[in-house]
Amino acid sequence: MKIIAMLGLLAMFGGGEEGKRKEPPAFELLLRTQVLARGLDVTIGELADVTPVGDEALAIGRIVFAKAPVAGYARTVTRTELLQALAAGGQPVGRFVVKGATEATVQAVVTDVPAQDLTDAAHAVLQAVLAEEPGADTETELVTRVQHIQSPRGRQSMELKARVRGNKAGQDSATVDVDLLVDGEKWKTVPLQYRLTRFVPVLRVIGAVRGGTPLGPDNLMLAREKQTAAPGFYVRSFDAVTGMIARRNLQGGQLLTITDVGEPALIHRGDIVTVVLTRGRVKVTAKAIASQDAARGERLQLTNMTTHAPITGIATAPGTVEVPN
């Protein structure tokens, strides 16, 4: 009798295994048969409908199940794998019951990325970088063969973002990295290599020019030359030859160098000039005949008109030569 009474009390107050009530699952997952993954990963909410609908159900739906399969391939997801993913996400599996399909087939949704879109994005940023260089005159040639690319379509967006590697172009080459962003996250980087040909303006001689001839638009033209063929000793503007003459005979078609250009002669061969020699406070002058032409600052040979001795001096002004100490 005591044993029967004890069992009755336990049953009344919920004691024993028979008195424990199993709580119903809080959420129901209705597994889909076919799932199209648009982003870089697959979420619980894409695999199954989560009910009842609410904030917590939305949070559960955002849990990432796995990376999306590669384009052209598919994977299957079982009910057990779905519960395992929830457990890995910190959710007690006892709160869920899975219904619907026995397994889901997941495939990636991709979109073609035209090669022209990649090259347009790269060309735009490369031109912007080159435009910031002083006196830029550069031709570009794409040397990379752009392959056919298929990219995840993205849940919200798929876009291209290009950047010049190192934020500047080299002397004869540049690399542009084009990032493919899926929903704002970098999925792939496509490097594009460019060959650069740089040009500079250079003065070119028109026809034959005799030494001593004034230089200007009448006998020179501004030409566009490759920078490798026109280093710094070539004359690059008409301003540099204003008031200047040809130092020597010039051939038609040749590029004008700085050694081809000089100031007009202050003293000409045969001129009688004053030679000035200074020693401390003593200044001695003499008359001499110039043996050659000389511009300002150039050395020339003279002959003393009294002693017929040779003199070397520097032309400093019309009719005046100084002998350096």
Whole-number percent of the chain with pLDDT over 90 = 78
pLDDT of residue 256: 94
Mean pLDDT (the chain, rounded): 90
pLDDT of residue 22: 64
- Is residue 321 within a helix (H) or strand (E), and if so which, with residue range? strand 320-323
Does the pLDDT at position 195 exceed 80? Answer: yes
Does the pLDDT at position 9 exceed 50? Answer: no
Q: What is the pTM of this model?
A: 0.69
Whole-number Å distance between alpha carbons of 25 and 44: 17
pLDDT of residue 1: 41
Contacts of 311 (CB under 8 A, 6+ apart): 275, 286, 288, 301, 302, 303, 304, 321, 323
Cα 12 off chain centre by: 79
Does the pLDDT at position 4 exceed 70? Answer: no
What's the mean pLDDT in 106-133?
Answer: 95
Whole-number Å distance between alpha carbons of 46 and 36: 8
Whole-number Å distance between alpha carbons of 92 and 82: 12
Neighbours of 271 (CB within 10 A): 19
Label residue 28 by pLDDT band (50, 70, 90).
Answer: very high
Predicted confidence (pLDDT) per residue in 75-104, tens digit: 999 999 999 999 999 999 999 999 999 999
Does the pLDDT at position 17 exceed 80? Answer: no
Does the pLDDT at position 38 exceed 60? Answer: yes
pLDDT of residue 24: 85
Which residues are registered as beta bridge partners of 201?
224
Contact criterion met (CB below 8 Å) for 257 and 234: yes
3-state secondary structure of 258: helix
Q: Which residue has the tokens 């990963």?
A: 41
Beta strand segments in 68-132, E? 74-78, 96-100, 103-108, 110-113
pLDDT of residue 11: 41
Token pair listed for 274:
């004053």
Token pair listed for 172:
């004869």
Token pair listed for 28:
């129901």
Kindly tell me the burial class for residue 184, based on how many C-beta atoms sit within 10 Å of its own C-beta (0-12, 13-18, 19 or more). Answer: exposed
Does the pLDDT at position 10 exceed 80? Answer: no
Whole-number Å distance between alpha carbons of 255 and 202: 7
Whole-number Å distance between alpha carbons of 105 and 47: 9
217 cis-preceded (ω within 30 degrees of 0):
no
Q: Which string of DSSP letters, residue by residue, matches 138-175?
A: EEEEE-S-PPPEEEE--SS-EEEEEEEGGGS--SSEEE
- Torsion region of 33: left, alpha or beta (phi above 0 gives left; psi -120 to 50 gives alpha): alpha
Does the pLDDT at position 111 exceed 50? Answer: yes
Contact criterion met (CB below 8 Å) for 320 and 276: yes
Query: Going from the N-terminus, what domains does the chain have, and what CATH number goes with each?
Result: 22-108 (2.60.480.10), 113-197 (no CATH), 199-262 (3.90.1210.10), 272-323 (2.30.30.760)
Kindly tell me the burial class for residue 316, based on how many C-beta atoms sit within 10 Å of its own C-beta (0-12, 13-18, 19 or more). Answer: middle
Per the document, the length of the chain is 325
pLDDT of residue 231: 66
pLDDT of residue 230: 60
Whole-number percent of the chain with pLDDT over 70 = 92
Predicted confidence (pLDDT) per residue in 179-193, tens digit: 999 999 999 999 999
* Nearest residue to 165 (alpha-carbon basis) of 191, 136, 134, 138: 191
N-to-C CA span, the chain: 142
Token pair listed for 242:
């204003």
Does the pLDDT at position 8 exceed 60? Answer: no
Does the pLDDT at position 137 exceed 50? Answer: yes
* Nearest residue to 35 (alpha-carbon basis) of 97, 109, 139, 123: 109
Predicted confidence (pLDDT) per residue in 233-285, tens digit: 899 999 999 999 998 999 999 999 999 998 898 899 999 999 999 888 888 99
